[in-house]
Amino acid sequence: MTGGIDARLAHQLMSNDNDMVKRGGEVLNQAPPPGEYSGRRCQDVFWGVAFILVAGGVGVLAVMDLGKLKNLDTTASFADSIPALIVAGVVSALAAIVFLQMAQICPHTMVWTSLMLTPIMLVVGGAAMCFMDPASSATMGFIQILGGLFLGSCVVCCYTRLVPFTV
């Protein structure tokens, strides 16, 4: 072991063509193991307090709005949605397991898949909006398609150089 990581991995990172990956390998090579590093002081207290305040505010607003739900008959619709919730939970857990396994097998492809999935889904959703109800939602579908294309081009232009470091 050299520094905080495996010597073979440190050499692999430092011999990469990408300068950012080389710098990352040098930093990791010089740092102590992550679990044993105690030299950094906690700088996240402000953001932790901000998170707790926002989460508490959302909780208070949710409790305040519960009174409005008393007039609605939600028992039948909630009971009908339980099987769908179970199926959604199982499918999402299986998808997460498959994604993690694929990330180990082909990390480069999975990073690009993660980056490009949102723009692709925006374009597909916009096209579906255009074809499903062309009279009322064609404009919004076209705007969504443009947004997906712009997001995809921004991802390609801005993140291409960062993909090797992410992998």
Q: Where are the domains of the chain?
A: 106-167
From first CA to last CA, the distance across the chain in angstroms is 22
When mean pLDDT is compared across 45-54, 60-69, 140-149, the lowest value belongs to: 60-69
Mean pLDDT of the chain: 80
Residues 41, 52 contacting (CB under 8 angstroms): no
Residue-wise pLDDT tens digits, 59-96 = 888 877 776 666 655 556 666 778 888 999 999 999 99
Cα–Cα distance, 116 to 87 (Å, whole number): 26
Instruction: Check pLDDT > 50 for residue 1.
Output: no
Cα separation, 141 vs 131, in Å, equals 9
pLDDT at 163 over 50: yes
Q: For residue 73, what pLDDT is reported?
A: 58
Q: How far is CA 138 from the centre of its chain?
A: 29
CB neighbour list of residue 155: distance below 8 Å, 6 or more residues apart? 115, 116, 119
- Percentage, residues of the chain above pLDDT 70: 77
pLDDT of residue 123: 93
* Distance separating alpha carbons of residues 150 and 123, to the nearest angstrom: 10
Q: Where are the alpha helices (DSSP H) in the chain?
A: 7-14, 19-30, 45-69, 75-105, 107-132, 134-159, 163-166
Instruction: Pick 44 or 149 by higher pLDDT.
Output: 149
Cα 98 to Cα 7: distance, rounded to the nearest angstrom: 30
Contacts of 128 (CB under 8 A, 6+ apart): 141
Q: What is the structure's pLDDT at 2?
A: 45
Q: Write down the pTM of the prediction.
A: 0.50
Higher pLDDT, 32 or 46: 46
The answer to whether 122 touches 144, Cβ cutoff 8 Å, is yes
